[in-house]
Chain A
């Protein structure tokens, strides 16, 4: 596949490295950034503006299957995507951050400009945090099939009935499956003989209502309902998050440094239990005032990584139950985990994940990448003459390193078992390691 990525910032670089198996062409206006990208990725680099027709043609836009505009300017991304489409790119994705472009209800970009996907990293982050808060205790959460199926990543902290014995002997709740085990940062797709050990993370996929049962099996209790959340940073992310939380009837305290912005937040957030505070998120005194130990989740989403880090550490010190921190720079992610911040989110990873969903073959509906691309959740439609169709799963020679997780058709979703028979038209969620992805695609 021929892919052009315009803008070699943190996000562009990450997308490019995730897609490096494809034919990549990278565009940037800065020769230095390009050189750096060229040293990390086997790709053609073109110096110039993504808006320029000459640059785009030079990059081979006529034969391009996917054009991704992720420069740091919204307008450049929009115009570049439109132009790329006009010059022959099959699909165009643009990153647009400013909220004003999303006001109003019309699908402005898809209808008017022909851009296939407009990604707003800030909304993505806010949505993701909201999801994390909704399913607290899990490290990562993923939805499939219109939110009927959910994947959660659970850290195993103590020995229970589910651990230290072969998976085939573990009595799993119905409609739940262990789709993966993360051990020392490596993703394993488990077989019946594999065991779960303390210290692993398990990836459970199942119906949303049944997921808590498996959490129980591994000794993790669902937290009581979230009632009180503190948000540091009242930018677009903080604002969007506060809106979602308001709708859930959660008490929100939002801390913002800029006075004018505070007033703006006050206007926008009308919830009865929402309070906007003018102050510094790293001010210990202010945090103490908010009685941190009683808050369910502490979220740091300011624009500065350093502020987010320090605020989270302070909150952790004051025994906050759970901390979520936004990290822009990839360099910090590893350290934050070690410092005890429960979840870290980075816009670049979220944007890349969103882009990846659009990369697969046409009959792949959705792709979610996990563990920085070590594994992928893919949604397939069973075609009429697929090798997997009309026979029970246990008779299908399914490649090692891949596993069928969930099946849905007729509006119903269920978890696949050995005797499940796939019918054409059904949709199937598969977890796969990248190296067997092609083999899996051939089955459908």
Chain B
């Protein structure tokens, strides 16, 4: 007992050791690009990636050696530092290949692109994707999505033995959602189960794109990575719109984006535990499906009424409109950011609806970003409760989602999260606008990064990119992506001075 109390603080050695191992894991993942380079006989990429892998490995090894004699279990504070720092390190070192192979000359561009990958944002600063990236580069760019989707830390918890409670702290710091319920008693097993489901779904998505839609295997894998991670990087300049004549690509991608935006724990319950009924009883899932459904119908209608023949968003018939509406709605709500149409050209109401949908994002425990359906649900219910209390202060109302009662403290945290999210959005929008960018561009860039969507409106719309921003804005937006991916608190505590004191 006394021992465990003594170890509750921060330990540089423990943190260093974990960061070291994480970077070695990162280097190993990066090394897969060398294989792709070898398949396509691309000596330049092989060299660039080999250099990046070596450097990452060496630095990781140095961190590990520094912390090799660390003692004690990982504390909550250790875990927060490890998770936040590792995301910055991943951005720095994961961006090395882009610099070594000449894709970027600026550090902030490589950092932005890598963080955009790992945070599953999908915002890019590459103007000509098909032209400037090698196959190995494409592979790494999409792989960053996939690793970041379920979380590289969660992967680490799943494979690294004996983290104990520390593993739980690491897990909770990275997995999105206010309620992270263990699927299995051991956090290692839970992480393993989630990654297996994730892997399996990606495999199915890949097989369908490859075999049914006839996409080539490389593009099929890359798009499956981007879909399941709700990322949005494509190997094509035109994104999914490139496959415009293949309706099956739209349908498959829409379906899997929707699946990736739902809570992965439910798949475990439904498939492994055989509790399909129990999984379908989840309120958040229904709220999520409901929002997607209503938004799709609304956008379809707005695309059809008042559409003059000259409008770009006049798709002629309602089914074509439904096809583009559903894809864009799902892509935005799940914070993926793939595009089959430039919704910036759509009717104002449709545009606005999609803009607001950006804030919500997918379900807790999914790979999607944003505030999360669950939190929105709780905030809405809390509002109703407060309104009720305004005329009947005596009434005691518990907040329920489904049959579960949400405790007051949890409601409180969620409301604060909501407020913080909006505050950060306002602050960053002001920052971006202060460089002379217009209101809609600034606001949509900020939310596109904070909620890990990718494309926004106006200058950053679905057919544009973020390349024109200057260095400071790119760094701040990258930081926004990490903030959004790690759900604010994990990163923000690092800025509280007392966190670093005893």
Determine whether the beta carbon of B407 is less than 8 Å from that of A31: yes
Task: Report A-chain residues with C-beta under 8 Å of the C-beta of B188.
Answer: 42
Mark contacts of A312-352 with chain B using CB atoms, 8 A cut-off: 1 yes-contact digit, 0 otherwise. Answer: 00000000000000000011011000000000000000000
B185 touches A24 (CB 8 A): yes
CB of A331 within 8 A of CB of B168, answer no
Q: Does residue A44 face the partner (Cβ distance < 8 Å to B)?
A: yes
In the complex, the answer to whether A41 meets B165 with C-beta atoms within 8 Å is yes
Chain B residues 406 to 454 lying within 8 A of chain A, measured CB to CB, are 407
Are B164 and A39 closer than 8 Å at their CB atoms?
no
Q: Shortest beta-carbon distance, A403 to chain B, in Å?
A: 26
Residue A55 interfacial (CB < 8 Å): no
For B164, give its contact among A2, A20, A331 (CB under 8 Å). A20
Give complex CA distance A40, B164 in Å.
9
Whether A331 and B4, one on each chain, are in contact in the complex, defined by CB atoms closer than 8 angstroms, is: no
Determine if B76 is an interface residue (Cβ-Cβ < 8 Å): yes
**B102 proximal to A (CB < 8 A):** no
Residue of B with least CB distance to A185: B3
Verify A42–B187 contact, CB threshold 8 A.
yes
Cα A331 to Cα B163 in complex, Å, equals 25
Would B185 and A331 count as touching, CB distance under 8 A? no
Residues of A within 8 A of B189 (CB): 23
- Which parts of B126-184 form the interface with A (CB within 8 Å)? 163-165, 167-168, 181-182, 184
B102 to chain A minimum Cβ distance, whole angstroms, is 46
Chain B residue with the shortest CB-CB distance to A3: B185
User: A77 interface residue, CB < 8 Å from B?
Assistant: no
A42-B165 contact given A23-B186, A24-B185, CB 8 Å threshold: yes
Does A42 contact B167, Cβ atoms closer than 8 Å?
yes
**B185 contact set on A, CB distance < 8 A:** 2, 23-25, 42-44
Verify A39–B407 contact, CB threshold 8 A: no
With A23-B185, A24-B185, A38-B168 as given contacts, are A334 and B2 in contact (CB-CB < 8 Å)?
Answer: yes
CB under 8 Å from chain A, chain B span 1-29: 1-2, 4
Q: B181: which A residues are within 8 A, CB to CB?
A: 44
Chain B residue total in the interface (Cβ 8 A): 18
- CB B427 to nearest CB in A, in angstroms, measures 32
Determine the chain A residues whose CB is within 8 A of the CB of B407 once the complex forms.
Answer: 31
B186 lies within 8 A of A40 (CB): no
Q: How many Å lie between the Cα of A38 and that of B180 in the bound state? A: 12
Q: How far is the CA of A38 from the CA of B168 in the complex (A)?
A: 9
Interface residues as binary, A1-36 with B (CB distance below 8 Å gives 1, 0 otherwise)? 010000000000000000010011100000100000
Contacts of B164 in A (CB 8 A): 20, 42
Given A23-B184, A23-B185, A31-B407, A39 contacting B2 (CB threshold 8 A) = no
Q: How far is the CB of A262 from chain B (nearest CB, A)?
A: 36
Judging by beta carbons under 8 Å apart, are A40 and B165 in contact?
yes
Least CB distance from A19 to B in Å reads 11
Task: Report the count of interface residues on A (CB-CB < 8 A).
Answer: 18
**Given known A-B contacts A31-B407, A39-B76, A44 and B165 have beta carbons under 8 A apart:** no
Question: How far, in angstroms, from A20 to B165 measured CA to CA in the complex?
Answer: 10
| Cβ contacts under 8 Å, B184 to chain A | 23, 44
- B490 → chain A closest CB, angstroms: 16
Q: Which residues 282-335 of A have a CB within 8 angstroms of B? A: 330-331, 333-334
- B interface footprint on A191-228 (CB within 8 Å = 1, 0 otherwise): 00000000000000000000000000000000000000
Query: What is the distance, in angstroms, from B170's C-beta to the closest C-beta of chain A?
Result: 11
| CB of B350, distance to nearest CB on chain A (Å) | 43
B186 and A39 contact, CB distance less than 8 A: no
Query: How distant is the Cα of A41 from the Cα of B167 in the complex, in angstroms?
Result: 10
A38-75 to B contact mask, C-beta < 8 Å, 1/0: 11111111000000000000000000000000000000
Contact assessment for A42 and B168 in the assembled complex, using a CB-CB cutoff below 8 Å? yes
B76 → chain A, closest Cβ, in Å? 7
Chain B residue at minimum C-beta to C-beta distance from A60: B185
CA distance A23 to B167 in the complex (A): 15
A172 to chain B, nearest CB (A): 33
Give A367 to B182 CA distance when docked, in angstroms.
31
Give the docked Cα–Cα distance between A334 and B407 (Å).
37
Contact A331 B1 (CB under 8 A): yes
How far does the Cβ of A59 sit from chain B's closest Cβ, in whole Å? 9
Q: What is the CA–CA distance of A41 and B1 in the complex, to the nearest angstrom? A: 13
When distances are taken between beta carbons in the complex, the residues of chain B under 8 Å from A333 are: 1
In the assembled complex, which residues on chain A have CB atoms less than 8 Å from the CB atom of B2?
A: 334
Within the assembled complex, what's the spacing in Å between the Cα atoms of A93 and B184? Answer: 22
Assess whether A40 is in contact with B4, with CB atoms less than 8 Å apart: yes
Contact at A330–B1, with CB atoms within 8 Å?
Answer: yes
User: What are the residues of chain A within 8 A of B163 when measuring CB–CB?
Assistant: 42
Closest Cβ of chain A to B376, distance in Å, is 23
List the A side residues contacting B4 at CB < 8 Å: 40
Chain A minimum-CB-distance residue to B404: A47
Nearest B residue to A54 by beta-carbon distance?
B403
Interfacial chain A residues near B165, Cβ < 8 Å: 39-42
- Chain B residues near A45 (CB-CB < 8 A): 182
With a cutoff of 8 Å between Cβ atoms, the chain B residues found around residue A31 in the complex are 407
Contact surface of B with A, Cβ cutoff 8 Å: 1-2, 4, 76, 163-165, 167-168, 181-182, 184-189, 407
Instruction: Give 26 CB contacts A-B under 8 Å.
Output: A2-B185, A20-B164, A23-B184, A23-B189, A25-B185, A39-B76, A39-B165, A40-B165, A41-B165, A42-B164, A42-B165, A42-B167, A42-B168, A42-B185, A42-B186, A42-B187, A42-B188, A43-B186, A44-B181, A44-B184, A44-B185, A330-B1, A331-B1, A333-B1, A334-B1, A334-B2
Residues on A close to B: CB < 8 A? 2, 20, 23-25, 31, 38-45, 330-331, 333-334
Contacts A40-B165, A42-B168, A330-B1 supplied; 15 other A-B pairs, CB < 8 Å: A2-B185, A23-B185, A25-B185, A38-B168, A39-B76, A40-B4, A42-B165, A42-B185, A42-B187, A42-B188, A43-B185, A44-B181, A44-B182, A333-B1, A334-B2
Question: Closest 7 interchain pairs by CB?
Answer: A23-B185, A44-B182, A44-B185, A42-B165, A330-B1, A42-B164, A24-B185
